[in-house]
Structure formats: C-alpha cells, structure tokens
Amino acid sequence: MKKSCLIFLLFLVASCAIRKKAADGKPGVAGTSAVKQNTNTINNEVFSKVSVSDVQKNMEYLASDELEGRNTGTIGIEKAAVFIENHFKNNNVKPYFKTFRDSFNLKKIIGYNIVGYIEGNDPNLKDEFVVLGAHYDHIGTAKEVNGDKIANGANDDASGTVAILEWAKHFSNTKSNKRSILFTLFSAEEMGLKGSSHLAKRLKKENLNLYTMINFEMIGVPRAKEEIIAYISGYEKSNMAERINEYAGDIIIGFFPRAKELNLFMRSDNFPFYKVFKKPAHAISTFDFSNFDYYHHVDDEADKMDFNHMTNFINAMIPALKGMINAATDEIKINNE
C-alpha cells in the first residue's frame, strides 16, 4: 500500500470520533458513528417543531392569576385540569382510564392526575410503556409581595406541564411511537408526591409494563452558558443520561454535582415510579438553585420565563424521546449500585 493511501485511511479512522464533553461535563471521546446511527432516521423525519408562541400561550394561561396558584382541591386546579383535558382531546390523545382523571382522596380533598395515552404502533413493543410526567399543581399562595399573594408556579411546574402538552401533540400528529406513551400530569406533588405515588401504585397493580419514566421539573429558565442545558437526578442510577444524549446526537443532559446533596432524586414525581417499579425513573430540570430566585414565591410568574430556552429544550428532547420510545431493545437499564 502506498504511503499516501495509508495516511488517508488513518485520517478517515481518526475522523470517525469526535472529542466532546461527556455527560458529566468531563472531557471524553465519543464515537459519532453510534450517535448518527441512532439519530439519522429521527432527524430526517419531517415534523413541525414546537413554536415559541404555543409555549408562551400555554404557559401564560397555566400560570395566570385566574388559576389562583393551582393548589390541589381548589377551583384553580380544576381549571388547569380542564385545560389539559381539552388539549388532549383537541390533539386526539386518548384517556388511559375511562376518563382522563385518576382520582384519589387526601382526607377531605379530592385530587386527580390527568393521564393521556397514545398506543404504540409496533406489535411487539406496544405493550411496553414510556411515562412522561410533570406536576401541574402548585402551592396556591405565598408570602405577600406588593399586594400579591398568588404563587403562580410558572417555573414550578407549569413549565414541565407545557412540555408534556407539546410532546403529546407532537407524538399524536406524527404517530411514530413504537412503544405506548402515557402523558401524566400529577397533582398533590406539593403535598408530598401524593398524586404520583397513587398513580404508580395503581399502574403497578394493573400490571403496566413500564420501560422507563421521565419527570420534567422546572425547565423554564436556562442554566449558565458554560453548563449543559439540563441535568438529570439520580444520574448514577441508570444509563438514561448517556442514552438520551446518544439519541439526541448532542450533549443535552448532564450531571449536577449538588443533586445528591439536595436529595433531588427523591423529591420529585419520578421517585414513586422508581420505588414501585424498580425501573429507570428520573427527573430532568434546568433549574439548579443558582439561576432563579423565585422558588415557591409569588414572583414565579410567566413573565420571568425564558420562552426561547423552553422551546429549544422541548425541541431538543424530541429526537431523544423518539430514540427511547422506538429503540428495538430495552437500551435504558438500571445500574448495579
């Protein structure tokens, strides 16, 4: 073989790998061939991207004063529930149960999760479920500031709720899901994960075959420019972050060093599913306790949200979710701890 040909072949081999940040933010080498193989079909599929205007419109209603902070058991959260149900109906998302509502009792309060369903189109995979969730309740009121007592809960967690609504619309329109999907909006999260605990136990009792679950918690504000766009709680408990990044063809989910210290894995609606099903179940967030000052505050309002960031994140997750939902085998697995 001529020396020039050998040099050219070596160049081709070297170019098959790129150096990029690993999901924990440390330098690493990732082979692009595997990433491209998992994402080419997804990225070439023609679909309408989520629009900033739709994200903003939905957020402004869910975080409006009319909903009075969406406390579980109030008129405000009932309005939010009807809004979510109508969104599902208008986008041909079916109820998983007889109705969209999964009701439960908390002493004198009746709470209800809203559960939408899109059946998978693969005869072998449709019996496996991916659960995408967020909580649509908030705390109602908080310490008064300038005459305002309503804790609107825009970032917490109308932002995650809006993302679930957009993904439900997307998958309903594309009909490209091999596995079945549940779009779950939880209530009574602020009362101690009561809604998600009830639903996880109910689905387990009904023998739902859960593949994996992701909860989206506070995605309305961007992290610092040097940080990866979002992080996952319980990073070390499964290979989910790695797989999401492969499916997305980019590093969009990283490791948050303070997550364990703050016990984030057990503080969000993913935890009941992990506990009950013993399957990968994580929360993904862009709020890292340094980039938003209004947690459980009356100024957690729609006008404090970064709608371009939200829309970019929702769109970036679409190929990742597609990769997860359509993988031929169960690629996301619990790590041995």
Q: Name 337's bridge partners.
A: none
Range of the structural domain that residue 98 is part of? 16-326
Determine, yes or no, domain membership for 5.
no
Q: In the chain, which stretches have pLDDT less than 70?
A: 1-48, 337
DSSP state of 249: T
DSSP state of 192: T
> Does residue 240 contact residue 332 with C-beta atoms inside 8 Å?
yes
Reported as a single tens digit per residue, the pLDDT across 98-131 is: 999 999 999 999 999 999 999 999 999 999 999 9
- Between CA 327 and CA 145 the distance in angstroms is 49
- Mapped onto helix, strand or coil, the DSSP state of residue 198 is helix
Determine, yes or no, domain membership for 4.
no
Domains held by the chain: number: 1
- Mapped onto helix, strand or coil, the DSSP state of residue 228 is coil
Determine, yes or no, domain membership for 72.
yes
- Between CA 213 and CA 276 the distance in angstroms is 12
Q: CATH no. for residue 106?
A: 3.40.630.10
Determine, yes or no, domain membership for 333.
no
Determine, yes or no, domain membership for 331.
no
Determine, yes or no, domain membership for 6.
no
- Residue 65 has phi, psi (to 5 degrees) of -60, -25
> Does residue 132 contact residue 214 with C-beta atoms inside 8 Å?
yes
Determine, yes or no, domain membership for 241.
yes
pLDDT at 337: 58
What is the identity of the amino acid at 48?
Answer: S
Token pair in block for residue 290: 């340094």
- Between CA 36 and CA 41 the distance in angstroms is 9
Determine, yes or no, domain membership for 235.
yes
pLDDT at 336: 79
Token pair in block for residue 330: 């169960």
